[in-house]
Structure 1
Amino acid sequence: MKRKLFYVDPYQQRGITEVVTLAKDDLERWYVTLEETLFFPTGGGQPNDVGRIKDIVVFDVEEVEGEIRHYIAEPSLEVGESVDMEINWHRRFDFMQQHTGQHILTASFVELFGIQTTSFHLGKEIVTIDLDVKKVSDEQLLEVEKRANQIILENRLIETKWVSKDELDAYPLRKQVAVEEDIRLVIIPDFDYNGCGGTHPSSTGQIGTIKILDTEMQKGNVRLHFVCGNRVVDQLHRKQKTLQEVTQLLSASEDGVVKSVKVLLENGKKLEKTLEEAHQQLLNYEVKELLGNQKEETVSIERVFRHRSIQQLQKLARLTVAEATNSQLIFIAENDGLLQVVLARGTDNQANMKQLIVQILPLINGKGGGSENFAQGGGETDLTGEQLLEKIHSF
């Protein structure tokens, strides 16, 4: 069944047609096919239309084996029935703006720098194209955006034509078409000639404007994020709101936000450094407290801590055995049903920490490992730290 109406007039929002079939698909979803339709099915990077057929919600539209299936919320239509249909125009026009903006942006990259587009995705908020290039400069992006908006401002005519395969040589196509019959061209004269089955406005001015937002690397190539038309205004509102909130939090003007953030970040780095130095001093004091005035040939230290991370215990253990090379220690941390163990020995001590952790882990259903000098592990258990120490003493 040929998709007639939206090809003839993409601005038609309502129409009357006849129900041809009513059936279920493999997923048990009800759908109808129509004599002719206003609804655009998903394809070519453009999402489907939604709307109503005789006040029944159409929530998805797909082209399957040459027929356009309109998936409906309830199967209350009858074959042969004449029905009203209406698409969600706000959604349709948004897609028209984004899709046509993509044509113009892609053509601008080709015209200015010979950069091809390899894929296109029209999302709910952001549109992306993948560029067949490893890097693109800010200067190139600015020039492409300027050229694209110039084409929009000139309000150039957008033409659509049905052509045969033999007629394609008469048009300077941006890329080869993927079909061999029922070929539809979307043309912006003297700028872009492209095979496309999507919906487009009749002139470039209706796109409004194009704004490039960002780029990222995707599988070795550049992915570009942009918006067109009403989405530009939506992005401006969102960013303006965020900017206002930030200026209020920083008590700064819009022009002074960047400077205020830099000062804040710099102060944060200084504070982090100060805290790290203070933490290091506390650890040094803690080491002295652990060692006390012990003068034994072998210093054995056992402690149970609560709500101390294993990273903190590892650091404390290394500092301790570095200070007392004849020491060996067992640190246990209790953290909400989880017991974590750190074992360490000094360079003048012969205890085997690797062997000891292997004996401890089964007691706490734990995992871990290490070397003869240093080992750690943890597991969930009902044992307390003190109870685990008692069991270790029995080895």
Structure 2
Amino acid sequence: MQKLFYKDPYLQTFTTTLVRQSQDKSGKWYAILEQTAFYPEGGGQPYDSGSLNDQTVIEVQEINGEIRHYLKDKLPETSKEVKGIIDWERRYDHMQQHAGQHLLSAAFEELFYYKTKSFHLGKEVCTIDLDTTELTDEEILEAETLVNRIILENRKIETKWVTQEELSDYPLRKELSVSEDIRLVIIPDFDYNGCGGTHPHSTGGVASLKTLSLEKQKNMIRVSFVAGNRVLKQLHEKQQVVSELSSLLNAPQNGMAEAVKRILGQSKEQAKELKDMKEKLLEYEATALSSQTEVVAGRTIIKSVLQNKEMAELQSMARKLVSAKDDINVFLFAENGGKLQFVGARGSNSNLDMRYVANKVFTFINGKGGGRENFVQGGGETALTGEEVLEKITHLLLND
């Protein structure tokens, strides 16, 4: 099969002969052509998409030496001559990203001797994994600057088929994974690399490159970047975000950081004030509850059903109550939507085992929880109201 994408990576339409159609093990139809401009997935570059005689090509793979064009629908049996159309926007994007990766990897190696261990061409961003555990912002900027200088110089990107014996004539950046059908992609005096992908004819076709972020990956550093038209897309998206935030913060772009710091500072102060107010409110509520004691089977108890209280608030109130009265037994419930939360606590002079009470409560409300003999907590469903469960606790104490 002739691989037209190697003869002319800019070829967008072609006409060829259909060799055959078949189905793979999963039942998907694919076409084998006499020649093709569709690039199959490989070497970190995704496959091309497009159409064959107006039938959508959804995937292209090279399997057992043949290029399979997977189709959305089978071509008519009468099809002999086939017209292929490449999704050019997708193809050229892949060409820009792949060439951008060559440039960026070469820059990191030339400047800092950091080798690229892997490359991923994603739908939105691309990544390379560098063989280093540390990478500074200054190094990233220096590599990015070198790449964009090479792009502006519009150097040729050459491809050459060579033999194993001829490899010694080229300073390759990494060892090759093949020993036959060796194809080199060369940016003279900068990068010499074995590669089966498609690239622009010159570095100017990459247009520009921008690194986005880095993260540690085991013993490597992963650098995210975009090239070509994706740089403009990223700039447009980020500019929209900056404009919206600038309007919301009522601050110019260069003053946004200070505006956010100011808002975060105010937020922390307000959060502290809110916490202090909640604590005071809990104290008032605990004081009010402390006067609402009753005696059940010789035990002094305080019981209450509260609305929309967090578990931490119930726990805090219970601790305040038992620390104020050492003979008290406290049963607090909070009704929060469709959930019922429970806290039980006893003072130091009470011998009531709260775990025994909690086990019964959790049975009533189909819930779960835990704790110690003097303090328990948990939650469950509101099959019963808090008041109904309190009645059951009173009945339990009377019959204990």
Indicate the TM-score class for this superposition, using the shorter chain for normalisation: over 0.9
Could you report, residue by residue, the CA deviation over 1:312-348 in whole angstroms, capped at 9, with x for unpaired residues?
Answer: 2122222332333332211112233322211122333
Worse-superposed segment, 217-226 or 132-141: 217-226
Residue 217 of structure 1: how far off its partner (Å): 2.3
2:157 corresponds to 1:155: no
Unaligned runs of 5+ in 1: none
Contact preservation (8 Å) 1:19, 1:78: no
Aligned-residue RMSD, C-alpha? 1.9
Counterpart position of 1:345: 346
Counterpart position of 1:321: 322
Worse-superposed segment, 277-286 or 297-306: 297-306
Structure-2 separation of matches of 1:351 and 1:134? 59
Residue 179 of structure 1: how far off its partner (Å): 1.6
1:63–1:325 CA distance, 2 compared to 1 (3 A): farther
2:174 corresponds to 1:175: yes
2:363 corresponds to 1:362: yes
Residue 269 of structure 1: how far off its partner (Å): 1.0
Q: Which amino acid in 1 is paired with 2:285?
A: E
Residue 255 of structure 1: how far off its partner (Å): 2.0
Structure-2 separation of matches of 1:256 and 1:121? 36
Contact preservation (8 Å) 2:293, 2:302: no
Residue 300 of structure 1: how far off its partner (Å): 1.4
Structure-2 separation of matches of 1:67 and 1:367? 61
Structure-2 separation of matches of 1:314 and 1:268? 26
User: Normalized against structure 1, the TM-score is what?
Assistant: 0.95
Structure-2 separation of matches of 1:379 and 1:295? 26
Counterpart position of 2:103: 104
Structure-1 separation of matches of 2:190 and 2:112? 14
Contact preservation (8 Å) 2:57, 2:71: yes
Structure-2 separation of matches of 1:214 and 1:208? 20
Counterpart position of 1:330: 331
Unaligned runs of 5+ in 2: none
Contact preservation (8 Å) 1:321, 1:346: yes
2:289 corresponds to 1:286: no
Q: Which amino acid in 2 is paired with 1:389?
A: L
Counterpart position of 2:261: 262
Structure-1 separation of matches of 2:382 and 2:258? 51
Structure-2 separation of matches of 1:346 and 1:44? 71
2:386 corresponds to 1:394: no
Q: Which amino acid in 1 is paired with 2:196?
A: G
Contact preservation (8 Å) 1:22, 1:79: no
Contact preservation (8 Å) 2:131, 2:219: no
1:245–1:76 CA distance, 2 compared to 1 (3 A): same
Residue 220 of structure 1: how far off its partner (Å): 4.6
Counterpart position of 2:217: 218
Worse-superposed segment, 359-368 or 20-29: 359-368
Structure-1 separation of matches of 2:35 and 2:181? 16
Seq. identity, %: 49
User: Normalized against structure 2, the TM-score is what?
Assistant: 0.93
Counterpart position of 1:373: 374
Structure-2 separation of matches of 1:316 and 1:21? 78
Could you report, residue by residue, the CA deviation over 1:99-123 in whole angstroms, capped at 9, with x for unpaired residues?
Answer: 1101110111111111122221111
Structure-1 separation of matches of 2:379 and 2:267? 33
Structure-2 separation of matches of 1:258 and 1:387? 54
Counterpart position of 2:85: 86
Structure-1 separation of matches of 2:354 and 2:253? 59
